[in-house]
């Protein structure tokens, strides 16, 4: 081992091979049991030399005084943590008030710098913009554990700021856009900043929303910190002073085993089973989409002997009772295999990750819903598919998936098994469309900008759109995520229908069946057709059926029973349950409320115009879709109760808890939940009580 450490030292001390030397130091840490007392002292010195100060903690008996001093100098103020050298560099730049854009691997600990800035106590209002609700929950838990008595954490639209605390807003870009109290922000963060580039994001609407959120927050003059992985350059931020730091620094070593197996045939499934039988540690298995994940889980269930933990069996029993006994997510978990994809409800996704990180689940089969940002303790990653949905993985996404192998302080060396041929290595440049305006920049984004912020090309495009618009520029801007041409097409159709005496679109509160079908027809035809078609919804009455079934007294459970009863011969019950849950999550509680409020804004302007015309084609009250949109968004239960799903409590359990909790104010709901005496919950199962107890510890 002395000779090995000597060789590593040669690499570490050579500038050209220093990064390789750091990788070798990490590998030596993984074999620390081979070191005697003298070798351990050498290893500790090498750890300091490559800047991996957190790894000195278990080596303290061998740390010299000068190494100990360097270790202590890497502690941030007000936070019980030790930085490695890259974190310390960023920390001191942020402390001086600089804007920083950091691109570094998953294992580097970019998020710890957010905690360190909050710990300084110098800010009154902080905003953290995250792409998913899963990341919001993870961040909220981490910050609550450290700053519960110091900060008021705001994650939901219904929560208000407090004057007596530092307010930390942890929000998606859509929620940032709907807050009216973010005009005086001191510091903001955008995680996964590469999603600013709408060419890099599958969902262009969400990319536009993120651009507008960043633009609004940056306009306050607040300091910013953008973080993400595997980006070599960024364009379009020329109006801001910032430090861009692309880094290959890593705190774990990764071995990549490449097999180049064909997409079709039995070679890949057979290799998967072979690997799964030989692997002992926790393993993520990446699949291109929910269908592939279900097939892989089914293969593992049949081909690998596993011994499920007690919590796995208890969770599977509960899922069978509350969703369906033939649902693959429940069947796989009964055999110790976790599933994580877009059809799994959020609270169960969180529970799957918690069980995986604790070692209760050995295999977690996942899609991109887990890869983007959520921290997992995975020794191994098997990349089963080289696609994301139907598109071949680019090198950026491949590296992001690969970055999930290994975890600082837990698994020094991660392993990646790439079953197909990996994509070619290319550099990634992220473009901020607001600053780098081209003819491809979405018009709906340009409409939100002041005239002084537009280029000549963009100004001409905006002027043409406004001059030819039936709708006012205010309406076009309110509906920022929808192209102006689509808005105008809807408006002209609505104008003709109402002018001719049709009243199906003029409802308020909750609609009747025909009124609901009328707005759903427009949603399917003009707004979210492709997303709905992919989930088997091709007509307004089909979308209305799902909404109506969920709004009945049986709620989600009754809806799933109706879905199961409608299974046709040859269809898989598990697939239909997955599809139904994706409709609930992606459409009913997210896309449909957004689309409905787009219609509300358009139809309201059309009605006002008709009222002002000499013929007065319509003189009744204006329609109001807001009540129904809010009800759908909260799955037709009180909004604070529905919001508990984001905190880790499934909607079925949240409804059972509703009698013990405030149902009108989320902050009070959370306070009630935190202080709830579980001995009062006499009709709750052991699993439900343990789940509620685990959530109580994180709020």
Q: How does pLDDT run across 335-358, given as a tens digit for each residue?
A: 999 999 988 999 999 999 999 999
pLDDT reported for residue 200: 64
- φ, ψ of residue 191 in degrees (nearest 5): -85, 150
Two tokens, residue 176: 């940032």
* Residue 623 placed within a domain: yes
* Residue 104 placed within a domain: yes
- Is residue 34 domain-shared with residue 163, that is, in the same domain? no
- Is residue 445 domain-shared with residue 478, that is, in the same domain? no
Structural domains in the chain (count): 6
Show the domain range for 650. Answer: 639-696
* Residue 431 placed within a domain: no
Decide: helix, strand or coil at residue 313: helix
pLDDT reported for residue 133: 87
Two tokens, residue 25: 């130091």
CATH number at residue 156: 3.40.50.300
Share of the chain above pLDDT 90, in %: 79
Q: Which residues contact 602 (CB under 8 A, 6 or more apart)?
A: 471, 475, 479, 487, 490, 491, 494
Q: Which of 1, 23, 2 is nearest to 12 (CA)?
A: 23
* Residue 95 placed within a domain: yes
Count CB-CB contacts under 10 A for residue 392.
13
Euclidean distance between CA atoms 408 and 82, whole angstroms? 13
Pair 340, 366: CB distance under 8 Å = yes
Pair 193, 227: CB distance under 8 Å = yes
| Environment class of 7 (CB within 10 Å of its CB; exposed 0-12, middle 13-18, buried 19+) | exposed
Q: Which residues contact 66 (CB under 8 A, 6 or more apart)?
A: none
Q: Please state the separation of Cα 261 from the chain's center in Å.
A: 31
- φ, ψ of residue 263 in degrees (nearest 5): -65, -40
Strand partners, 153: 168
- Is residue 271 domain-shared with residue 301, that is, in the same domain? yes
Euclidean distance between CA atoms 631 and 102, whole angstroms? 40
Q: Does the structure show a pLDDT above 70 at 373? A: no
Euclidean distance between CA atoms 210 and 214, whole angstroms? 6
* Residue 614 placed within a domain: yes
- Is residue 241 domain-shared with residue 95, that is, in the same domain? yes
- Is residue 242 domain-shared with residue 185, that is, in the same domain? yes
Q: In which band, very low, low, confident or very high, does the pLDDT at 400 lie, cut at 50, 70 and 90?
A: confident
Q: Does the structure show a pLDDT above 80 at 692? A: yes
pTM of the model: 0.91
pLDDT reported for residue 306: 83
Q: Which of 73, 93, 113 is a domain's end point?
A: 73
What's the pLDDT tens digit per position in 574-614?
Answer: 999 999 999 999 999 999 999 999 999 999 999 999 988 87
Q: Which of 229, 246, 263 is a domain's end point?
A: 246
DSSP string spanning 510-574?
A: SPPHHHHHHHHHHIIIIISHHHHHTTT--SHHHHHHHHHHHHSTTHHHHHHHHHHHTPPTT--HH
Two tokens, residue 4: 């090995």
What's the pLDDT tens digit per position in 40-88?
Answer: 999 999 999 999 999 999 899 888 889 899 999 999 999 999 999 999 9
What's the pLDDT tens digit per position in 211-269?
Answer: 999 999 999 999 999 999 889 999 999 999 999 999 999 999 999 999 999 988 999 99
Which segment of 53-57, 127-131, 186-190, 615-619 scores lowest on mean pLDDT? 615-619
Q: In which band, very low, low, confident or very high, does the pLDDT at 397 lie, cut at 50, 70 and 90?
A: confident
DSSP string spanning 420-460?
A: SPPPPP---EEE-TTTS--TTS-HHHHTTS-GGGS-HHHHH
Q: Which of 633, 664, 684 is a domain's end point?
A: 633
Two tokens, residue 66: 């000068």
First-to-last CA distance in the chain?
A: 47
pLDDT reported for residue 323: 95
- φ, ψ of residue 370 in degrees (nearest 5): -100, -30
- Is residue 120 domain-shared with residue 198, that is, in the same domain? yes
Q: Within 13 Å, how many C-alpha atoms sit on residue 155's CB side?
A: 25
Q: Residues 75, 77, 81, CA angle at the centre, nearest 5°?
A: 40
- Is residue 343 domain-shared with residue 378, that is, in the same domain? yes
- Is residue 65 domain-shared with residue 172, that is, in the same domain? no
* Residue 430 placed within a domain: no
Q: Does the structure show a pLDDT above 90 at 375? A: no
- Is residue 602 domain-shared with residue 668, that is, in the same domain? no
- Is residue 99 domain-shared with residue 197, that is, in the same domain? yes
What's the pLDDT tens digit per position in 271-297?
Answer: 999 999 999 889 999 999 999 999 999
- Is residue 99 domain-shared with residue 59, that is, in the same domain? no
DSSP string spanning 357-392?
A: HHTS-SEEEE-HHHHSS-----SEEEE--SEETTEE
- Is residue 268 domain-shared with residue 407, that is, in the same domain? yes
* Residue 175 placed within a domain: yes
Euclidean distance between CA atoms 593 and 626, whole angstroms? 8
* Residue 428 placed within a domain: no
């Amino acid at each position: 081992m002395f000779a090995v450490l000597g060789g590593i030292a040669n690499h570490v001390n050579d500038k050209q091979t220093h990064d390789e030397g750091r990788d070798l130091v990490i590998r030596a840490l993984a074999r620390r049991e081979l070191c005697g007392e003298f070798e351990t002292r050498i290893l500790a010195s090498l750890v300091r030399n490559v800047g991996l100060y957190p790894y000195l903690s278990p080596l303290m008996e061998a740390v010299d005084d000068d190494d100990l001093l360097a270790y202590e100098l890497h502690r941030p103020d007000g936070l019980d943590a030790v930085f490695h050298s890259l974190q310390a560099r960023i920390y001191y730049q942020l402390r001086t008030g600089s804007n920083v854009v950091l691109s570094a691997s998953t294992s580097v600990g970019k998020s710890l710098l957010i905690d360190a800035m909050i710990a300084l106590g110098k800010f009154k209002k902080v905003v953290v913009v995250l792409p998913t609700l899963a990341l919001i929950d993870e961040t909220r838990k981490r910050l609550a554990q450290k700053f519960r008595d110091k900060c008021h954490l705001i994650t939901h639209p219904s929560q208000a700021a407090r004057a007596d605390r530092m307010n930390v807003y942890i929000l998606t870009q859509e929620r940032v856009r709907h807050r009216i109290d973010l005009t005086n922000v001191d510091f903001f963060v955008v995680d996964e900043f590469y999603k600013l580039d709408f060419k890099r994001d599958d969902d262009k609407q969400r990319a536009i929303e993120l651009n507008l959120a960043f633009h609004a927050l940056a306009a306050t003059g607040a300091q910013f910190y953008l973080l993400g992985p595997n980006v070599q350059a960024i364009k379009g931020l020329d109006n801001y002073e910032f430090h861009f730091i692309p880094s290959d620094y890593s705190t774990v070593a990764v071995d990549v085993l490449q097999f180049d197996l064909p997409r079709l045939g039995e070679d890949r499934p057979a290799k998967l089973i072979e690997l799964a039988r030989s692997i002992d540690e926790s393993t993520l298995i990446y699949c291109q989409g929910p269908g592939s994940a279900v097939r892989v889980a089914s293969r593992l269930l049949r081909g690998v002997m596993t011994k499920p933990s007690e919590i796995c069996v208890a969770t599977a029993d509960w899922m069978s009772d509350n969703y369906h006994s033939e649902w693959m997510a429940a069947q796989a978990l009964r055999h110790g295999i976790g599933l994580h994809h877009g059809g799994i409800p959020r609270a169960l996704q969180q529970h799957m990750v918690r069980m995986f990180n604790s070692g209760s689940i050995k295999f977690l089969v996942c899609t991109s819903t887990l890869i983007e940002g959520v921290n997992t303790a995975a020794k191994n990653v098997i990349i089963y598919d080289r696609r994301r949905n139907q598109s071949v993985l680019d090198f950026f996404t491949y590296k992001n998936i690969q970055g999930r192998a290994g975890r600082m302080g837990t698994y020094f060396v991660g392993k990646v098994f790439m079953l197909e041929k990996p994509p070619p290595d290319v550099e990634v440049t992220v473009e901020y469309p607001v600053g780098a305006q081209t003819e491809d920049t979405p018009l709906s984004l340009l409409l939100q900008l002041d005239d002084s912020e537009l280029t000549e090309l963009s100004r001409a495009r905006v002027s043409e759109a406004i001059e030819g618009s039936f709708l006012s520029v205010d309406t076009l801007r309110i509906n920022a995520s929808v192209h102006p041409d689509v808005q105008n097409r809807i408006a002209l159709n609505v104008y003709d229908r109402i002018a001719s005496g049709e009243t199906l679109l003029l409802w308020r509160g909750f609609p009747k069946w025909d009124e609901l079908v009328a707005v759903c027809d427009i949603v399917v035809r003009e707004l979210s057709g492709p997303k709905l078609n992919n989930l088997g919804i091709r007509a307004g009455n089909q979308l209305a059926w799902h909404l109506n079934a969920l709004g009945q007294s049986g709620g989600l459970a009754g809806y799933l029973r109706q879905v199961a009863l409608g299974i046709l011969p040859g269809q898989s019950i598990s697939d239909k349950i997955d599809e139904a849950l994706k409709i609930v999550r992606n459409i009913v509680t997210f896309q449909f409320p957004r689309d409905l409020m787009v219609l509300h804004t358009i139809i309201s302007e059309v009605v006002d115009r008709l009222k002002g015309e000499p013929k007065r084609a319509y003189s009744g009250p204006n329609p109001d879709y807001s009540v129904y949109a809010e009800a759908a968004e909260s799955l037709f239960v009180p909004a604070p109760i529905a919001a508990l799903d984001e905190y880790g409590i499934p909607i079925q359990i949240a409804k059972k808890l509703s009698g013990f909790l405030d149902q009108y104010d989320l902050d009070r709901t959370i306070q009630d939940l935190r202080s709830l005496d579980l001995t009062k919950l006499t009709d709750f199962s052991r699993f439900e009580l343990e789940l509620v107890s685990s959530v109580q510890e994180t709020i």
